[in-house]
Amino acid sequence: MLTLRFGQSLSPSADEGHPMTRTPVALLLLSITATLLASCNSASPATAPAPGAVPPITVTNPPVQSLPPNALPDPLVDHPGQVAPRFGFTAAMAIQSGDTVASMQAASGGTVLTWDDASGALIGLNANKDGTAPSASSLSASLGRAVAVDANRDQLGAGGTITAVMSGSKIAWAGGNLSAWSAGSKIAWAGGEYTPIPQNTQTWNAIHLQQAQTLAPNLGAGVVVAVIDTGLDLDHVAFKDALTDQSTWWDFYGGDAVPQDEGTLGTGGYGHGTNVAGIILQIAPKSKIMPLRVLGPDGSGDVSGIVSAINWAVAHGAKVINLSLGSATNVKPINDALLAAAAKKVLTVTSAGNNSRGTLTYPAQNRYQLPSLVSVASVDLMGLKSSFSNYGLATAVVAPGENVFAPAPGNMMASWSGTSQAAPMVAGGLALALGQTLKVPMMALPGAVSFSAANKIYTNSANWVYAAQLGSGELDLAALMSQTVK
């Protein structure tokens, strides 16, 4: 399913008191934004809020100092419903000496969307006048190098066709900010119960979270986890003091600096990213979340947005990337971006998909080709494969992804089920380990997740049919900490 469900630029004037330095990445994004708008002119103009409406979210510490002439309107202010220019296809290629954005665009007739020395350039193209896809051979001839052409638009989804499903249970959030639940005035564990969200006590007991947090008392402090998803409810009290500096945020789907989760609660992908980020912070409450929006309210998004977000996360200090999304099609530009991330010692966790099939969605299916990637399937609290979860030999580990409670938009709390919920448990576990002094090489952590897993799931006869296809077993965070941190 190339359906990236559940990109593009960066640009804004610096707030007084927050001088920023233009980085090459930022400047490229500014150039790209200007070119996109000049060629596509499809950005929706901002509309004035209705009387009595909640004021729009505004970024006060922007990524760069000034805007290009044709940047999206007011990129420091959230514009709900705004969609950045999108392309039907992408052309991926290596960058050669002497290449410039202008020369690549002139030779291809397209728009450069990403530019990374390690993973190469990605150019956005639309169908030919006769409706056919751009020709890779023609582009190769024009550009003088090998070119791979792939479908781009709506090619990825949050964990599968059905995606993670929110239950009907949603209540007001009463847990305060998750980063405060540590060894202080707020104690996360009392009498064996997980105090911030008691509903998750059984789930966290299944992966030995309390013991893991004792073994990793820094609780992920100093570790940035990029959540590449539908965005977050940035105003949710649970995320107070838990997000990275605003200069590291971006909405690759909407084309502004405000990656706000958008939609109607209980419909499509709305709230997916908010839930995923909340799970990570329950595991590693002192880690920081970098919110990057690549998926729309229906939970779908483009290859170019995912690639841009991966490159962005690496360039802005993420040590772990969570991809609770996938595609039925193997997408080379995403693989290239993840390989480039691995070369910079950035770890990636991705969901297996929710189609109940014997093969994982991509990039999870490429676990053995992507050395820093951990692929995660889902089981229930009894350790049985979840009815929705994909499975296969590429699975690294399973985690309990059913009815996991976490923040929901509007200062609410809701439970979701999906491999999308299992993956951030691993991402949070990696953040826990990285917050401590390691006794193993950092790049050995993905393997350690598998080696430390509890293989008791295969003792249940109901799982025999999935032998070796649910990874090494169920995530065991306490064992992971014991094996990897000093």
Buried b (16+ CB within 10 A) or exposed e, 264-298: ebeebbbbbbbbbbbbbbbbbbbbbbbbbbbbbbb
Q: Angle between the 136-143 and 101-108 helix axes, to the nearest 10 degrees?
A: 130
Q: What are the structure tokens assigned to 228, written together?
A: 């590449």
Q: How many CA atoms lie within 13 A of 304 on its CB side?
A: 33
Sequence-separated (6 or more) residues with CB below 8 Å from residue 239: 177, 178, 232, 233, 277, 281, 289, 407
Residue of 420, 450, 452, 472 marked catalytic: 420
Q: What are the structure tokens assigned to 267, written together?
A: 């419909």
| DSSP-assigned beta bridge partners for residue 373 | 348
The reply to whether 236 belongs to the active site is no
- DSSP helix, strand, coil percent of the chain (3-state; round to 5): 30, 20, 50
Question: Dihedrals φ, ψ of 322, to 5°?
Answer: -105, 120
Residue of 208, 272, 450, 476 marked catalytic: 272
Q: Rounded to an integer, what distance in angstroms lies between the CA atom of residue 204 and that of residue 322? A: 19
Q: Rounded to an integer, what distance in angstroms lies between the CA atom of residue 161 and that of residue 389? A: 12
Nearest to 122 by CA among 303, 257, 357, 317: 303
Sequence-separated (6 or more) residues with CB below 8 Å from residue 54: none
For residue 133, count CB atoms less than 10 angstroms from its CB and return exposed for 0-12, middle for 13-18, buried for 19 or more: middle
Element (H, E) at 375: strand 373-379
Cα-Cα-Cα-Cα dihedral sign, residues 273, 279, 282, 287? negative
The reply to whether 135 belongs to the active site is no
Residue 209 Cα distances to 78, 217, 384, 426, angstroms: 36, 12, 19, 11
Nearest to 80 by CA among 234, 226, 228, 227: 234
The reply to whether 272 belongs to the active site is yes
Looking up tokens 């893991």 gives: 212
Residue of 74, 116, 229, 476 marked catalytic: 229
- Known catalytic residues are 229, 272, 420
